A and B are shown apart, each in its own frame.
Chain A
Amino acid sequence: MSAAQQVNFYQVGTFAAGNRLLGPELQSDQSDPARANALTSGHRACQGCGEALGARYVLDAAQRAAGGKVIAVNATGCLEVFSTPYPETSWQLPWLHSLFGNAPAVAAGVAAALRAKGRTDVRVVGQGGDGGSVDIGFGCLSGMFERGDDVLYVCYDNEAYMNTGVQRSGATPPAARTATTQAVGEEPGAAFGQGKSLPLIAMAHEIPYVATATVAGLRDLEAKVHRAMGMRGARYLHVLVPCPLGWGTASCDTVRIARLAEQSGLFPVFEAEHGEVTDVTPIRRRVPVEEYLRPQKRYAHLFEPEPHTDVIARIQRTADRNIARFGLQAEEAVP
């Protein structure tokens, strides 16, 4: 566990825990005015885009860990489109976009080239959305994992194909409304019993490192990037990044919604090495799923005209199961 993670931020009414509570060596990479700012301002993401936030957090931390020597490979998706409407680019690091479904293989190619050239000081980060990682890029990702290519692959999970207008992906949760799982009919929204957990599938490859994180846990996310960058081989980071447009949430609520996902137990935050869970982020202030679902318009049909308590209860059972499965319940809960 890193030093930063050993510090407890007891939350008292507010969720803010500032750098002023820490020594300079423990302050977040984001608070450093000299941070790489790998994804700089001026890009065209929606206000409050969790993916833009997550990508900057991840790449700045990776840049710091690698002494600024990082090459990024990007799948097609919002992150790619909003960052590079040429001649503008927001990337301040070498960056390559090839296709939607091949980012892990392209990243593996970059890593192979660097190895052949003896440039092991330069590190490779591959990144894509949930569609690009869970669905269309899945074969390439599994290949990259299985071969142990020296790549940190990051999936920014906003639980749907956002760039094409919010369609269902294999990471879309049950009951969520998307343009292809509309809030109509007997069972509105995405079906129950479908979808997959890419972090668990990544673990099944027994790669050195798999971790989940959200944009609500900046320090946790940065620490995980540093941990991953301290290792070689195929590593996987799955970051939950709320999408105000697709989820129907307020732009100012991105971090709050991500935290609720974590606190409800719907998005378990954990780390695993070589296929074994090594650490989980315990939930100290547990919330019912309803608190997470209600502010999101993609779940509006669960509450209007009257609440679908059975469906909400079903989602609650998923959260309860996650909490039991990963041991997420904190020993000392904050009231």
Chain B
Amino acid sequence: MLKQTEGSRAVAETVAYCRPEVIAAYPISPQTHIVEELSRLVKSGALKPCEYVNVESEFAAMSLCIGASAAGARAYTATASQGLLYMVEALYNASGLGLPIVMTVANRAIGAPINIWNDHSDAMSQRDSGWIQLYARDNQEAADLHPQAFRLAEELSLPVMVCMDGFVLTHAWERIEVPEQRQVDAFLPPYEPRQVLDPDEPVSIGAMVGPEAFTEVRYLAHAKQMQALEAIPRVAEDFRRVFGRASGGLVQPYLCEDAETIVVALGSVLGTICDVVDEMRGRGVRIGALGITSFRPFPLDAVRKVLGGARQVVVLERALAVGIGGIVSANVRTALSGIQLDGRTVIAGLGGRAITKASLHRLFDDAIAGRLEPLTFLDLDTGLVERELARMARTRRSGPSAENILRDVGSNR
């Protein structure tokens, strides 16, 4: 149903239509609206049977989902940032055990310094956790990815993370086609677990595995993600058939066929990027954009196919691998192995800094003119960081950098 609603609410409603049987809830911005709305749906009786559990930490939230999923229930939780890191041990455990849990991550920066605003540092830090990671470009897709996530998770027996930009999407009110119960029911069959705790057929789950088989178990985890490369487009196609709109898939190219320069990105910034691409195309620039929806598994072939013919690739990242630079870029490089083209990494929008059209125009012009460093921090206040570097060089006890920088910002206002 077409509704004027908040991204979080649309996600919560859609999740409810997926008929989760156990929901673990713990608050953290900017995710909280999702579990709040689910609380209302369960408590009012709109969603049943469903056990909604207010846990005492994110570690417990994921652990509760692990138990519920192993007992054969469809399990869901949502988190962000510090909360995602707090559950890391359980994340690896859930994927290692092959439990089809679905979790929304309302992407947010990681502290210190503590910062509640959007970037992708949280989910990117879990790229090797064995979870499938899907990134939504807008709220419509954020909602639509959830039924797909449950389908994929349960088909492959793997957990799936649906990543949506914190605040930018979670708190945005807009027109969203919220899936309907009958559509979701037609798309998502009841959960048939591959392994289940059942007194009639007792199995031991979570045994110790030594060197004689550990590599093989890990190989299978990889093999399942490779199967997901085939399953993700198929499930997206099924989705299109049932719901009548396209959402999800591995990658989403925009005007890439004849593009000399292609900008690669994930999430909501793609909207702005595509606007800029349109405007630049209006000026006769051959530029395109490639949205990566599935970051795990990483669609090497699909990315190579789109980017292989370009002259230049700019990867715009909302996370930073400190000490090397780009995270997505490294994956893109792998996809382009053996192909010679000019690749640039741009770190943008960290901790909620707005990525404006004006900045992107400047950035892409610079890239095309060959003026871009291999690693660029978009809209970096160089004066500010240089003053702090100088302070650090001057005195041993220069104090905490974040505070120094804020003081500097304040006094120069």
Contact = CB atoms under 8 A, between A and B. Distances in A.
Interface of A: 68-71, 73-74, 80-81, 84-86, 89, 91-99, 101-102, 105-118, 122, 139-140, 142-143, 146-147, 149
A214 B385 CA distance: 63
B197 interface: yes
Contacts of A105: 55, 59-60, 63-64, 67
B204 interface: yes
Given A68-B199, A89-B207, A113 B63 contact: no
B27 to A, nearest CB: 14
Nearest to A121: B199
Contacts of A114: 71
A94 B208 contact: no
15 contacts: A73-B67, A81-B208, A84-B204, A86-B204, A95-B204, A105-B55, A106-B67, A107-B67, A109-B53, A109-B75, A116-B49, A139-B59, A142-B56, A143-B57, A147-B54
Interface in B60-81: 60, 63-73, 75
A81 B24 CA distance: 28
B198 A140 contact: no
Nearest to B56: A143
B206 interface: yes
B204 A89 contact: yes
A98 B66 contact: yes
A285 B60 CA distance: 44
Nearest to B65: A109
Contacts of A85: 207-208, 210
A173 to B, nearest CB: 28
B21 interface: yes
Contact of B90 (A70, A96, A98, A116): A98
B93 to A, nearest CB: 5
B71 A140 contact: no
B24 A109 contact: yes
Contacts of B55: 105, 143
Contacts of A94: 197-199, 201-204
The 7 A-B pairs with the shortest beta carbon distances in the complex, nearest first, are A109-B67, A97-B206, A143-B56, A113-B73, A102-B63, A113-B71, A105-B63
B63 A99 contact: yes
B49 A93 contact: no
Contacts of B51: 112-113, 115-116
A228 to B, nearest CB: 18
B206 A113 contact: no
Contacts of B197: 71, 94-96, 110
Contact of B64 (A106, A122, A139): A106
B194 to A, nearest CB: 14
Contacts of B50: 116
B22 to A, nearest CB: 5
A46 B347 CA distance: 55
Nearest to A102: B63
Given A96-B206, A110-B71, A147-B53, 12 more contacts: A70-B199, A96-B204, A97-B204, A98-B63, A99-B63, A99-B93, A102-B60, A105-B67, A106-B67, A117-B21, A143-B55, A147-B54
**Interface-central residue, B54, B199, B201, by most chain A CB under 10 Å:** B199
B64 A96 contact: no
B274 to A, nearest CB: 41
B90 A99 contact: yes
A98 B21 CA distance: 20
A102 B71 contact: no
B209 interface: yes
A74 B67 CA distance: 11
B199 A113 contact: no
Nearest to A151: B67
A117 B49 contact: yes
B246 to A, nearest CB: 33
B89 interface: yes
A156 B51 CA distance: 29
B380 interface: no
Contacts of A117: 21, 49, 71-73
